Amino acid sequence: MIIDSKVENKKIANQYKELLRISYQTLGDSDKKMIRLAFDMAVEAHGEQRRKSGEAYIFHPISVAKIVAEQIGLDATSICAALLHDVAEDTKLTLKDIEQLLGENVAKIVHGLTKISNLKKDKNISLQAENFRKMLLTLNDDVRVIIIKIADRLHNMQTMDAMPEYKQIKIASETLYIYAPLAHRIGLYNVKNELEDLSLKYTEPERYQSIKEKVEETKELQDEYIKSFTRFLGKELRKESLKFEIKGRSKSIYSIHRKMLTQNISFEKVYDKFAIRIIYKSNQSDEKFLAWKIYSIITDNFTPNPTRLRDWISAPKSTGYEALHITVMGPSNKWVEIQIRSERMNEIAEKGYAAHYKYKQGNQKDIGIENWLNRLREVLENNTGNAVDFVQDFKLNLYADEIFVFTPKGELKSLPQGSTALDFAFFIHSEIGKKTRGIRVNNRLVPLSKILKSGDQIEVITSENIKPTINWLDFVVTSRARSIIKSSINEEKKIRAIEGKEILRRKLKSLKLNQSEKTISQMLEYFKFKNVQDLHYRVAIGSVDNKELKEFAKSYQNKLLNFFKRRVKKKEDPSEKENQKYSERFDQIIFGKQKEKLTHSIANCCSPIPGDPIFGFVTSNEGIKVHHKECPNALSLQSNFAYRVISSKWVDSSSQEYNATLKLSGIDRKGIVNEVTKLISNNMSVDISKINFDSEDSYFTGVIHVSVPNKNVLTKLVQNLSKVNGIDEIIRE
């Protein structure tokens, strides 16, 4: 690739000017000087480095800084850190250099970003889960580290075309698993939507393309409907002398995909494919009054769906999000979602964290994201579990809807939907949670596992003699409560687990079973325990008794017996007759790009059947397990253990074909194309799907796409073609 350095340098300079122009924050002279210095340092440090696409590496940090400045709206310190986020890891520039030139705050954020990247490899842990945990732990230092990391991920997702397919799927799965939920929780809804759409583009390209095309096909009609609806609505609002702007927008491709999946419906049956947003001008004291006034005008003209009213003005989301959402029956009997926001509310919805601080006044009580961050820091400080458990627990609360409940003194608190009475106790304070003896909801004693609903008033009864038990984990859903409970019982559990191991050994011996790795693995699956320590602990405290162990032994021995019977008889199971036709068509699984046939077993969690979309997962002690692509565990496995995932698919072994592309080149002569095509056509095992030859100055190049039953036939074909007079080189792709 020939690079015109003058053109490239001009483009870099223009990118810098645009960075200053698009900044959401007002930049003073000192801010601009600091950003210029960071920019020059980044340009010099990255020097001749280039990305896989071939462009200068410096374009990546500049793009990340632009996302931070415009879409997320952070300050000059964050913009500088974004420009320098890769220098400490990839260049000679050190954190000490950054601190000396740009100050402690920039250096601290860059250090946080570097900590996330520098992960030592350990085969005994999930590298990605550990990476996620490291990233989340940086929240203890500065939330801006996470936000810049999200911006970094967004730009990587936007420029992933140059990467190999397996990397695209891995990065997209990670993004869906942790980065998009994090963006949602920090209030960066636009960033979240883009991350989700881009992830779907790489994890399920056919699904993504299908929905995208259908959205584009219906766009003209949809735009016309929105225009007509907003024209009428605007006329009614102007009668009340309101100052406002009305915007129509399509739902994201990913949100349509999720709705189709969760409701098991086609694209045509997704009715709310777009929403209308009314953004009105108001001073802060009149915001609530005007929002309900607009609501009243809308519902005077259109029938509302009472079950779809969402009042996040009276009780904002914990992300700081405020708005009224209503769904009304519009013209042509179509349901239309309308979002009502003031300009301030809209900025918070668009920018999240940055706008929250812009509008925070004086000694205003901490709300929204600050409360969540404070609670999250406590979760991080109490965390003692393994990385995968930690990330799973943390993820539970990232996308959860909220409920609003009251303390005995009438203070309003928000909790994730599905939270229990015991979750509330830990939400109030970790020490109150650990000493919970009982809970009253609306003046009535309830079980600790009671699921709360909006409007409940809750009182926690404590006792100094109470301490958390393992059963409490069954009574909570929030990561905060789970983390504190696990931390409290961890030491005791370790001691009891040692006792339990010996007890289990004796009991298995009496049942004529060895405490082997395979037996323990089967026990974990049978009793649905996450790890060996958990099994040993449950045995020690008696929650796995002799009767249950006997039932397991019987089940395990039957399993082994059936396995050996199948191996000896290899007879057809009569219960599978109805699936026989399908199974005969798709009777074999092949793995990886080489389409290898490998020993495997079907995962019990999703039990894919022949023809289903699948992937292989290399377990630590049971070989390859085959999972359905829609398996509830799929995203977690692909994200936390991407290095163990193998692409796979069902095939019909009787008609299996291999596709190959052959690139030919050599000295052109009359009749060479005819000779090549004749040679291929005479081979009954080879089909030509596409062929193209070009000639220039007695030199020819050709590309032939063929299908063959196996690789031996392809190898033989290449050998025969190489004997054709004039062919100099054959490259097989």
pLDDT, tens digit, for every residue of 280-315?
999 988 999 999 999 999 999 999 988 888 898 988
Q: Which residues are catalytic?
A: 89-90
Lowest mean pLDDT among 64-78, 166-180, 373-387: 373-387
Name, in order, each residue with C-beta under 8 angstroms of 185's C-beta and a sequence gap of 6 or more.
319, 372, 397, 398, 399
- Domain containing residue 683: CATH number: 3.30.70.260
Is 280:294 a contact under the CB 8 Å cutoff? yes
Whether residue 441 lies inside any domain: the answer is yes
Better-scored residue on pLDDT, 84 or 51: 84
Instruction: Looking at the structure, tell me whether residues 182 and 278 fall in a common domain.
Output: no
Confidence band for 170, pLDDT divided at 50, 70 and 90:
confident
Query: What's the whole-number mean pLDDT along residues 662-670?
Result: 83
Instruction: Looking at the structure, tell me whether residues 511 and 481 fall in a common domain.
Output: no
Span 5-20, pLDDT tens digits? 788 888 888 988 999 8
Could you give the number of structural domains in the chain? 6
Instruction: Looking at the structure, tell me whether residues 481 and 494 fall in a common domain.
Output: no
- Domain containing residue 313: CATH number: 3.30.460.10
Query: What's the whole-number mean pLDDT along residues 326-337?
Result: 88
Helix axes 189-203, 205-238, angle to 10 degrees: 150
Lowest mean pLDDT among 54-58, 296-300, 504-508, 584-588: 584-588
Q: Kindly report the average pLDDT of the chain as a whole number.
A: 81
pLDDT of residue 658 exceeding 70, the answer is: no
Instruction: Looking at the structure, tell me whether residues 29 and 154 fall in a common domain.
Output: yes
Domain that holds residue 31: 5-188
Whether residue 364 lies inside any domain: the answer is no
Span 123-136, pLDDT tens digits? 444 556 666 666 66
Name, in order, each residue with C-beta under 8 angstroms of 10's C-beta and a sequence gap of 6 or more.
none
Measured distance CA(188)–CA(627) in Å, rounded: 33
Measured distance CA(290)–CA(154) in Å, rounded: 36
Is 733:720 a contact under the CB 8 Å cutoff? no
Whether residue 120 lies inside any domain: the answer is yes
Which residue in 26, 44, 350, 426 sits closest to 188, CA to CA?
350
* pLDDT for 426: 92
Whether residue 518 lies inside any domain: the answer is yes
Whether residue 591 lies inside any domain: the answer is yes
Confidence band for 365, pLDDT divided at 50, 70 and 90:
very low
> What would the two tokens of residue 306 be?
């009472």
Among the ranges 56-65, 269-278, 461-470, 506-515, which has the highest mean pLDDT value?
A: 56-65
Is 399:310 a contact under the CB 8 Å cutoff? no
Instruction: Looking at the structure, tell me whether residues 389 and 496 fall in a common domain.
Output: no
Which residue in 709, 653, 700, 638 sits closest to 673, CA to CA?
700
Residues in the chain: 733
Instruction: Looking at the structure, tell me whether residues 165 and 61 fall in a common domain.
Output: yes
Measured distance CA(478)–CA(394) in Å, rounded: 8
* pLDDT for 181: 84
Domain boundary among 514, 539, 569: 569
Is 287:311 a contact under the CB 8 Å cutoff? no
* pLDDT for 530: 74
> What would the two tokens of residue 441 be?
């909801």
Better-scored residue on pLDDT, 510 or 293: 293
Confidence band for 366, pLDDT divided at 50, 70 and 90:
very low
* pLDDT for 529: 81
Instruction: Looking at the structure, tell me whether residues 95 and 159 fall in a common domain.
Output: yes
* pLDDT for 387: 59
pLDDT of residue 517 exceeding 50, the answer is: yes
Instruction: Looking at the structure, tell me whether residues 472 and 496 fall in a common domain.
Output: no
Measured distance CA(700)–CA(80) in Å, rounded: 53
Q: Could you give the residue ranges of the DSSP H alpha helices within 91-188?
A: 95-102, 104-117, 127-137, 143-158, 165-174, 180-185
Measured distance CA(679)–CA(12) in Å, rounded: 54
Instruction: Looking at the structure, tell me whether residues 102 and 157 fall in a common domain.
Output: yes
Q: Could you give the C-alpha distances from 400 to 164, 181, 584, 681, in angstroms and in order?
A: 34, 10, 43, 60
* pLDDT for 576: 46
* pLDDT for 137: 66
Q: Could you give the C-alpha distances from 218 to 56, 212, 230, in angstroms and in order?
A: 39, 10, 18
Whether residue 436 lies inside any domain: the answer is yes
